[in-house]
Amino acid sequence: MTNFDIEISEVGPRDGLQSISPIMPTEAKKAWISALAAAGVPEIEVGSFVPPRVLPQLADTAELVTHAKAIEGVAVAVLVPNLRGAENALKVGPDKVTIPLSVSETHSLKNLKRTHEQVLDEVRGIRAAIDALPAAKRPKLEGGLSTAFGCTLEGVVPEDKVMEMAVKLAEAGCDEVGLSDTTGFANPKQVTTYTKRIHELLGPQMLTGVHLHNTRGQGFANVMAALEAGLTTIDASMGGIGGCPFAPGASGNIVTEDLVFLLESMGLRTGINFDKLFAARQVLAQALPEVELYGFTPEAGLPKGFSPATPQ
């Protein structure tokens, strides 16, 4: 982390767009990704290798990976649902591949149409496919612990089940695991406890990031808990767009613009330039004028005399 203390992973082009009906044109997506990179966003999840018939919005992911890979200084992340999706991803060379494992098996069956053991089999296959590549071309493999804090389908998700699945993902070959509040159920105590337990089980290097939703207004309280627990990567979506289409009521990604302000106001460098970040927001707004964008910071502006931690 040369120019930032906390890494913001922008998930708007994937998690943000996947729940939105109007298809954002590919060229507009490229312009948005380029604008995000120009603002200094260090990692961008550009899409998902799911069948186009399932999520037509993400049908151009391979082209977006190729576009983003040509931009210096940005790590390119993608989501894959299975080995076939991963094989398609590996053809275009992203820097990080994430496969979600829903701790709620009901959600797993709804989202991926696979049981826990079937998902773990997919992870093993992906690990083998990555290891078959030259060392320099191997992306990081992350296992995302979806519905870790609760599920709209099952309700309470036992903490011990989260720990069990974290260990199994590591054993199946993941380089790291990530906590994901897919449904906006998480509270700060959970974030702190789960992070501490996974660090004790697997080591702090195996869990560095968290994906939070602000569905019930807990998003930024959970960010603070994540920071205090030692996590260094926070997912966010520009304008707060998106959520999971397979988990009813799971709206509300945390707003990238507000997260950057929170961190920078605390003296934590994100590497992001505010003016260029707001310009990227305009690219998104112009491409999808019918989609409501959220965020207090873009509306209120920066406070008089505000001095970001990142040189602007």
Mean pLDDT split into 10-residue runs, the chain, 312 residues? 85 93 96 98 97 94 98 97 97 97 87 87 98 97 96 92 98 98 94 98 98 92 98 96 56 91 98 98 97 92 97 95
Pairing of β 233-236 and β 96-102: unpaired
Both tokens of residue 41? 């966003």
The contacts of residue 228 (CB under 8 Å, 6+ apart) are 192
What is the pTM assigned to this prediction?
0.95
CATH for 7-300 is 3.20.20.70
How high is the pLDDT of residue 248?
47
Spell out the alpha helix ranges (H) of 2-115.
26-38, 61-69, 83-90, 105-111
Q: Which residues of 233-245 are buried (b: 16+ CB within 10 A; e: fewer)?
A: bbbbbbbbbbbbe
Handedness of CA 245, 175, 66, 91 (dihedral sign): negative
CA 309 to CA 266: how far, in whole Å? 8
Helix (H/G/I), strand (E/B), else coil: 100? strand
* Strand runs labelled E in the chain: 7-10, 43-48, 75-79, 96-102, 140-146, 176-180, 207-211, 233-236
* DSSP letter, residue 151: B
Extents of the domains making up the chain: 7-300
CA 169 to CA 101: how far, in whole Å? 8
Cβ pair 100, 180 in contact under 8 A: yes
Catalytic residues: 244
How high is the pLDDT of residue 154?
86
Identify the CA nearest to 98 among candidates 201, 188, 178, 6.
Answer: 178
